[in-house]
Amino acid sequence: IIKMLTFCRGRMRKKKMHRIPIYKVRIKMANIIKKIKRKHKKKKLQAEYAKMEQSRQNRTPEDAYQERLSKHRSAAIRRAMMTVVAVAAVATLCFFYMEKRSYHNYKILSASEQEDVVATNYAEMSGKILRYSPDGASLVSDTMDAYWSTLYEMQNPVADVRDDRAVIADQDGTLLEMFDKDGETGSVTTSYNIIKARVSSSGMVAAILDGGDATWINFYGSDGTLIAENQTHLADPGYPLDVAVSDSGDIMMVAYQFVDGSETTSYVAFYNFGDVGQSEDDRIVSGYTYDGVVIPQIMYLDGNRSAAIRDDGFTLYKGSQIPKEVETIKVDKEIVSTFYDDNIIGLVFKNGDKDKPYTMRGYSTDGRLKFEKKFNIPYTTIKASGGNILLYNSSQISVMNSRGVEKYSGTVDGTISNFIKTGWNRYLLVLDNGVDVIKLS
């Protein structure tokens, strides 16, 4: 700056000028400062380059190797991160595409005519189909190729499936048949008629038996061995409406109903047949009473979460050894249908709307509302199957995803008796004249 001022004064004397405009002085100052900065930056870079060159000349072969290795690793990490980001982006796009995509037709991939289709029932098991009738059971592919089959005699077979395990009970009879993906694992002839039977993913089976004046709840191993039996009465603790077994097989959940005065009361009890329950009366480690509430259905959702479906909503429990009540969701309208799987609990109730008379609510298994939608599908059956929500009557089917987005709705030729998801975009359609494997298109 001093040099610039001296220069300006000299110029004024030589040219005998009285004054240089101030804006020219400022421009000159800015140019000088820029030159100084450029020279300083250049000297700094030259010093750094010289230092790097000196360092490079002083490196040992090991240092050079480590530097090359570090650069290679950094490049590999960058490539890997770019690949992960690209794959995630593609997966996200595919997910949203599949979520929003809807179908307008279906095509038949295979058809199988069954002479006994009216007496035969079907259930999804381990990604395959459990086919059962009064004469026996078999595990088949969606093209009806059998993996195994077994014979028995029942009047009214009813199946319960959990992952790779299944139990088939002769309702109002006395025969229980246990299975896994490889075939029969056990068989039991009970002392009393069977009302209901449930299986866990470990193969443990709980059965409600009608003993006349009393009701029995028996607990069996996967091979049919009797582990425990419990006699119940209407007065204490009540009539058992439903039973469920934890995945580990240690906990049996029972929903009882009894009348206290003029009021209907429900009681949910958790029996622990492991070490934790040894010191408890009747092995009941926790129990909850609900006045004025009917609980017709209970289920285990995963290893430590269970739910009780009430006539006014549902209650969630959590705990692998001593289950505790954690959340109750209530609705102020009459529930007409329910559905559930490991990831969703669904309620359907009427809303009074003439155009769309039904409202469906889907909840996550921690009680969070996932979606709510009105619809007008005249269904007779609704269920969760393979991550989808399936609705159907004798001639119509509808498929929704787990967020309530309708993927397909239409009519079919024939009378529908069952509808099951068997794979990605593949469904088993059980009709009065045979079984079709269909794909939405």
Alpha-carbon span 270 to 221, nearest angstrom: 18
Q: How large is the average pLDDT for residues 276-304?
A: 92
76-80, 173-177, 430-434, 435-439: least confidently modelled range: 76-80
Average pLDDT on 299-325 reads: 94
pLDDT at 287 over 80: yes
pLDDT tens-digit series, residues 69-81: 777 777 778 777 8
Instruction: Please give the single-letter amino acid code of residue 369.
Output: L
Is pLDDT of 332 > 80?
Answer: yes
Q: Which of 105-119, 121-135, 286-300 has the lowest mean pLDDT?
A: 105-119
- Give the whole-number percent of the chain exceeding pLDDT 70: 85
Structure confidence at residue 52 as a pLDDT band (50, 70, 90): low
Please check the confidence at residue 327 and state whether its pLDDT lies above 80.
Answer: yes
- Residues whose CB falls within 8 Å of the CB of residue 305, separated by 6 or more in sequence, listed in order: 316, 317, 318, 365
For the segment 268-292, the average pLDDT, to the nearest whole number, is: 93
Neighbouring CB atoms inside 10 A of 326's CB total 13
pLDDT of 93 above 70: no
pLDDT of residue 214: 87
Sequence-separated (6 or more) residues with CB below 8 Å from residue 160: 166, 167, 169, 197, 198, 199
**Pairing mode of beta strands 345-350, 193-199:** unpaired
Mean pLDDT of the chain: 86
Residue 63 has pLDDT above 90, yes or no: no
Query: How much is the pLDDT for 16?
Result: 47
Would you state the pLDDT for residue 236?
Answer: 78
pLDDT exceeds cutoff 60 at 97: no
The number of C-alpha atoms within 13 Å of 242 and in the hemisphere containing its C-beta is 15
pLDDT band at 240 (very low <50, low <70, confident <90, very high): very high
State mean pLDDT over 296-311: 93
pLDDT attached to residue 5: 53
Phi and psi of 33, rounded to 5°?
A: -65, -40
Name the more confident of 66 and 343.
343
Cis peptide leading into residue 237 (ω within 30°): yes
Identify the pLDDT of residue 21.
66
Q: Is the pLDDT assigned to residue 39 strictly greater than 60?
A: yes
Task: Please tell me the least confidently modeled range out of 81-90, 250-259, 366-375, 401-410.
Answer: 81-90
Interval 363-376 mean pLDDT:
94
Global pTM value: 0.77
pLDDT grade for 233, boundaries at 50, 70 and 90:
confident
CB within 8 A of 406, min separation 6: which ones? 102, 375, 398, 399, 400
Kindly tell me if the per-residue pLDDT of 17 is higher than 50. Answer: no
Per residue in 161-214, pLDDT tens? 999 999 999 999 999 999 999 999 999 999 999 999 999 999 999 999 998 888
